[in-house]
Amino acid sequence: MVERRPWLDFLSHGILILGVIVIAFPVYVTFVASTLSLEEIMSMPMPLWPGDRLIENYSQVLFAGTSTGSTAPVATMLFNSTVVALCITIGKIAISLISAFAIVYFRFPFRMFFFWMIFITLMLPVEVRIIPTFQVIADLGMLNSYAGLTLPLIASATATFLFRQFFMTIPDELAEAARMDGAGPMRFFWDVVLPLSKTSMAALFVIQFIYGWNQYLWPLLITTDESMYTVVIGIKRMIVGGDAANEWHLVMATAMLALLPPAAVVLLMQKWFIKGLVETEK
């Protein structure tokens, strides 16, 4: 950094490479396992090089499911996960945009009250209110439905805060110029605020997509119909306990499928991902 210390540089790279390896190891093992046959996995030790069963395992899992635990084809589960993740993401972004817009650009009675109400939701994750929320969903008849899977998770305020912070940085004069130009509030929102919010929306998209895709406890509770499983809980349902009884090669293939889409989103949209993480926490 400041001085030349080659051995420290060497050490730094060493530690980093070690870190990368340790981080990657579990996923590597998973990938390898997903390409092996069950017998190869069960033999101790499992080989550490990829096998030749890649296409077999993946197609079986995608289209036929496993024979133990759940029998739903993973393709269906992937579809469900995608729908849930996208609904949560788009839903959250949409309602947060208009809420933040209202709070920043209008003055109306109860404004601060509404703001604090939304703020409080930050404090309590869904895990804390599972039983009663389940009750509400059941009462609304939304068990085993996309609505039930997504609506309770749209309720939190991180997105509203992000957009609010951003809207505060839009110069007042821009809104005044728009007012002069004759734009009403919604026109201003659509023509000016939205285009300017594109990077924030992208950042939020990444974070919320991962959040929605990775949901576990909630889908676990409200889906009993296998055709509504998301892939993340599908994996859990495949493991029925005891090492020997599971079709590990298929479970691992499913695991790979479960983690690839969010990982792809992170890698492809890395810039926005980082921005989203860092800014939602302020």
Partner 1 sequence: MAAVSIRNVHKSFGAVKVIQGISMDIADGEFVVMVGPSGCGKSTLLRMVAGLEAITSGEIAIGDRVVNNLEPKDRNIAMVFQNYALYPHMSVYDNMAYGLRIQGRTKADIDQRVQRAAEILELSKLLKRRPRELSGGQRQRVAMGRAIVREPTVFLFDEPLSNLDAKLRVQMRSELQSLHQRLKTTTLYVTHDQVEAMTLAHRMLIMNAGRSEQIGAPLEVYQKPATTFVAGFIGSPPMNLIPGRIGEGGKVLAADGDARVRLPEPRSAYDGRNVLLGVRPEHFDTCEPGAALMSPDIDFIELLGSDSLVYGHLGADKSGARVAARLHTSVVAKEGRLPLRFAAEHMHLFDPESGKRLEA
Partner 2 sequence: MEKRVVFRSAWLPFVLVAPQLAITVVFFFWPASQAVWYSFQLQDAFGLRSQFVGLQNFYTLFKDSNYLLSFRTTAVFSVAVAGIGIALSLLLAVMADRVVRGAMAYKTLLIWPYAVAAAVAGVLYAFMFAPSIGIVTFMLRQFGVHWDWVINGNQAMLLVIMAAVWNQISYNFLFFLAGLQSIPKSLIEAAAIDGAGPARRFWSIIFPLLSPTAFFLLVVNVVYAFFGTFGIIDAITQGGPAQSTTILVYKVYHDGVKAADIGGSSAQSVILMAIVIALTVVQFRYIERRVQY
Query: What residues numbered 10-69 form the site for partner 2, per CB under 8 A?
Result: 11-13, 15-16, 19-20, 23-24, 26-27, 29-30, 33, 41-42, 44-46, 48
φ, ψ at 149 (rounded to 5°): -70, -30
> What is the DSSP-derived secondary structure letter of residue 231?
H
Dist. CA 209–CA 86, nearest whole Å: 6
Dist. CA 122–CA 8, nearest whole Å: 42
User: What radius of gyration, in Å, describes the C-alpha atoms of the chain?
Assistant: 23
Residue 115 CB, shortest distance to partner 2, in Å, is: 9
Token pair in block for residue 211 = 């959040």
Among 55, 106, 180, 182, binds partner 2 (CB under 8 A): 106
Residue corresponding to tokens 């990775």 = 214
Cβ count near 116 (within 10 Å): 9
Residue 105 touches partner 2, criterion: CB under 8 A = yes
Residue 173 touches partner 1, criterion: CB under 8 A = yes
Residue 202 touches partner 1, criterion: CB under 8 A = no
Indicate which of partner 2, partner 1, none lies near residue 52 (CB less than 5 to 8 Å, by partner kind): none
Output the DSSP codes for 2-24: -S--HHHHHHHHHHHHHHHHHHH
Token pair in block for residue 189 = 């929102």
Cβ count near 61 (within 10 Å): 27
Among 42, 138, 177, 274, binds partner 1 (CB under 8 A): 177
Indicate which of partner 2, partner 1, none lies near residue 196 (CB less than 5 to 8 Å, by partner kind): partner 1
- Report residue 180 CA to chain centroid gap: 41
List binders of partner 2 among 162-201 (CB under 8 A).
168, 172, 175-176, 179, 184-186, 188
List binders of partner 2 among 83-102 (CB under 8 A).
94-96, 98-99, 101-102
Residue 190 touches partner 1, criterion: CB under 8 A = no
Quick one: which segment of 32-40, 103-111, 176-184, 237-245 binds partner 1 (CB under 8 A)?
176-184
> What is the DSSP-derived secondary structure letter of residue 142?
-
Residue 72 touches partner 2, criterion: CB under 8 A = no
Residue 64 CB, shortest distance to partner 2, in Å, is: 20
Token pair in block for residue 2 = 């400041």
Among 6, 45, 109, 195, binds partner 1 (CB under 8 A): 195
- At 234, is the secondary structure helix, strand, or coil? helix
Query: Which residues sit at the interface with partner 1, rule CB under 8 A?
Result: 171, 173-174, 176-183, 187, 191-192, 195-196
